[in-house]
Amino acid sequence: MAEPILSVRNLQTQFAAQEGVVHAVDGVDFDVFEGRTLGVVGESGCGKSVTARSILGIVESPGRVVGGQILLRPAKGGAPIDLLTLSPKAMRDIRGPEIALVFQEPMASFSQYYTIGNQITEAIRLHMGMDANAARARAIDLLDMVGVPQPSRRVDEYPFQLSGGLRQRVMIAMALACDPRVLIADEPTTALDVTTQAQILDLLRELQQKRGLAIILITHDMGVIAEMAHDVAVMYLGRAVETGPVGEIFSSPKHPYTRALLRSIPTVLAKPRTRLPTIAGSIPHPFNRPTGCPYHPRCSEIITGLCETAEPPAVGEASREVRCFLHGGRP
């Protein structure tokens, strides 16, 4: 396989609070390739959104990236750059032209006081050095590309004038304004209805095929992952507990969490009124992070005396890793 565009190595992001330190991201590794989608899946508090924000260098205080590497391979080739070593000013040239973000809540992520055209052209003028007219023309092209009807009229409208689905299209247009190579989509369809979700997922797939975008798709929805992702990273409490190609994750999941998660998903294929297998307990509070393997209190296959104390290392090849003592790595 080709070289990855973006590699995350042992990423650690912490939030210091009075009650203690929250290890929101605690040693995450993954690779993102051109024209492929990496699905990052996990439940609330697993650190998937903080991972995205860490990559872009927009973790909000008191959060801080405390370790690891985020390696971006330059477009012209050459040695990868570690984004964590860049100055804030240099980072600004990464956000937009190299890596862009689509947020979950399209209403909350726009300014209500500027037209959408205004908000799209801001980045174009800043990064691509176009004048106002050229930038506006590009904004209209972008809106057209993401399927906003009547783009030359819509460009002068305000976000509140658009429906949820259209707002998400505009958000994608804005993210693509400076031709990024990596698109991070953080729950891009969670706030949308299913029929609108289907439209947006189709759009993302189409854009990826046309432009060879590398997409990091962050979601809690295994259905969306099955549909969109080529590769998957399953996260639990700040760790990628299992990574691998989408087919293998679904057909032969290795980590007990992945297995349990897949079993507990309601599907339209189920028989009516059937009980679902559940995962015992609930996700621990971030201040009460379990010792050892963070999943051990909920795990049905716990190895008593080992999982409570020792942290399982990642085992397997780079493209198919799992962090669980059932699959090796015992001390």
Is the CB of 7 or the CB of 258 nearer to another protein? 258
State which amino acid sits at residue 155: V
Phi, psi of 65 (to 5 degrees): -80, 120
| CB of residue 68 to another protein, shortest distance in Å | 26
Is the CB of 179 or the CB of 227 nearer to another protein? 227
| Short-list 163, 186, 175, 81, CA closest to 119 | 175
| 3-state SS, residue 252 | coil
| CB of residue 167 to another protein, shortest distance in Å | 12
Q: Are 200 and 6 in contact (CB under 8 A)?
A: no
| CB of residue 32 to another protein, shortest distance in Å | 19
Is the CB of 80 or the CB of 164 nearer to another protein? 164
Is the CB of 245 or the CB of 316 nearer to another protein? 245
| CB of residue 304 to another protein, shortest distance in Å | 22
Is the CB of 138 or the CB of 298 nearer to another protein? 298
Structure tokens at 176: 């693509």
Q: Which stretch of DSSP H or E encloses residue 9?
A: strand 6-17
| CB of residue 218 to another protein, shortest distance in Å | 15
Which residues in this chain contact another protein in the complex, by CB under 8 A?
43-44, 163-166, 193-199, 201-202, 220-227, 246-247, 250, 260-262, 264-279, 282-283, 285
The span from the CA of 226 to the CA of 179, in Å, is: 27
Q: Are 289 and 237 in contact (CB under 8 A)?
A: yes
**Torsional class of 237: left (φ above 0), alpha (ψ -120 to 50), beta (otherwise):** left
